[in-house]
Structure 1
Amino acid sequence: FFSVVDEPGTIVRAGHHRSTAGLLFLAIIPVTAFILGTWQVQRLGWKTDLMARLEDRLIRDPLPLPPRIDPSAVPEFDYRRVLATGRLRHDREMLIGPRMREGEQGYMVVTPLERPDGASTILVNRGWISKKMADQRARSPDALPQGMVTVEGLLREPWKKNMFTPDNKPEKGEFYFPDVHQMAEWSGSEPIWIEVTMEPDYLQFVDLQAQGIPIGRQAEVSLRNNHAQYIFTWYGLAAATSVMLYMLAKRPASASEAAKRVR
């Protein structure tokens, strides 16, 4: 019988080499995070300039809405304060919802404004009402003004539908998001959207809510600007993973790696 321990011993390293491919793969993480952080810096500059332009439009005097509007020009006047005169078509009213406000469920009231002298009919987002005021018969007469009225609001591009919002069902009178072209076609209007602005105090808010009078939005720029947080996150991840990669590449041989074994 001849055992392997009777053979001459060969001294070898145990696990001394490292995978170059593995290190290169790990290096992709800090590089990608740094690129994304730099991109967010550019996005922050773009968003800051955009908000400055929009806020500048808010402080200007209201502009009378021209008789005819090119829908493709609306983005150039987004958040511009305008005045529009006409007759509200309450018979074509659309409720978008549900929408929550102050912890209560309700709807956004969208009413076509039929302007005189052959001017275009536009869509006016009059504001929020509670769910119990969805039926027009439950509202006060002041909530359904008759005759010629003048509304002041912001010329806007409505928010987009997200993946969790169901599709509108105009044939059933169910609207979950403002599809301007769809709502304009259904109501016989132009795809022009105005949001009425209002800044009521608490007592006025309660009174308007009780009468079913739509409560308009505040005249402010409501754009999300989280790019500074993203910059901190991506650059922090790039720095942390860079340190970890350096420590891994320069790590001294451990006791198990330095030990020699007899094969």
Structure 2
Amino acid sequence: MRRALSGGLIALVIAGLIGLGLWQLQRRTWKLDLIARTEAMLKAPPVPAPPPGTPVGGQDEYRPVVATGRYRPASDSYVQAVTVLGGGFWVLTPLDTGRFTLLVNRGFVPPAQRGKVPPPTTPVTVRGLLRLTEPGGAFLRSNDPAADRWFSRDVGAIAAKRGVAPVAPYFIDAGASTGWPRGGLTVVTFRNNHLVYALTWFGLAALLGGMTWWATRRRG
């Protein structure tokens, strides 16, 4: 009886490991499709930035967009960031398009440039990538709107702090630029370790099955 229960438990564990491996293969297929769709989207021409009320979701992340308007003066928000240029800040500024307002991440500045990069006063056309809002803050660091201290690009909280309404529920990462702020630093990468995970689960299932077979044969 005990041997039968042990055998049944081992069979369930092996089945569970195989199930985890198959799930990782499914995740890999989904991730490869996501990568392919994103790469195709990045090569597409920019579309007009969608106004508030337009459904925006994960399928729109990194979509090239374009918007024309005027930056609001003295309305910059500085969000802590670490980039290939080192530590510093993203500079987010409201752009008034005449119909609605959206936040533009004009780019990165080092700490020495904080407060020294006012936006242009003339109308501008911004081309960049649509990015989803980042509510709350970063890992173990919460945004503090009262102190104007930001660790993530939280569109709703930043817009409320700056008195911006109506505001689009996303922000734009501006394209490449020279000088400060330095645009075009968006990193578009997707981790795809699902095949490694799948092989790990399948390997564990095979190992457990082999050990069980060896132990059973030895007892016999």
Return the TM-score normalized by structure 2: 0.85
Residue number in structure 1 paired with 2:184: 216
Q: Cα deviation per residue 1:166-188 (whole Å; 9 max; x = unaligned)?
A: 21111101111122222232231
1:230 equivalent to 2:179? Answer no
Residue number in structure 2 paired with 1:86: 69
- Over 3 Å counting, the alpha-carbon distance change for 1:65 and 1:244 in structure 2 is same
Mapped partners of 1:73, 1:104: distance in 2: 31
Residue number in structure 2 paired with 1:242: 209
Amino acid at match of 2:127: E
Return the TM-score normalized by structure 1: 0.72
Q: Cα deviation per residue 1:21-77 (whole Å; 9 max; x = unaligned)?
A: 3343333332222111101111111111122112111111111235x3425334443
Aligned-residue RMSD, C-alpha: 2.6
Aligned-residue sequence identity (percent) comes to 32
* 1:35 aligned to which of 19, 23, 40: 19
Instruction: Report 1 or 2 for greater relative contact order, CA contacts < 8 Å, sequence distance ≥ 6.
Output: 1
Residue number in structure 1 paired with 2:46: 62
Residue number in structure 1 paired with 2:111: 131
* 2:150 aligned to which of 163, 172, 175: 175
Residue number in structure 2 paired with 1:47: 31
> Which structure is higher in strand share?
2
CA contact under 8 A between 1:129 and 1:215: conserved in structure 2?
A: no
| More displaced stretch, 45-54 vs 221-230 | 221-230
Residue number in structure 2 paired with 1:258: none
Q: Which structure 1 segments of 5+ residues have no match? A: 1-16, 254-263
Mapped partners of 1:133, 1:103: distance in 2: 13
Q: Which structure 2 segments of 5+ residues have no match? A: none
Q: Cα deviation per residue 1:67-103 (whole Å; 9 max; x = unaligned)?
A: x342533444332211111112242211111x22236
1:195 equivalent to 2:177? Answer no
CA contact under 8 A between 2:91 and 2:181: conserved in structure 1?
A: no
CA contact under 8 A between 1:27 and 1:245: conserved in structure 2?
A: no
Mapped partners of 1:170, 1:69: distance in 2: 22
- Over 3 Å counting, the alpha-carbon distance change for 1:223 and 1:162 in structure 2 is farther
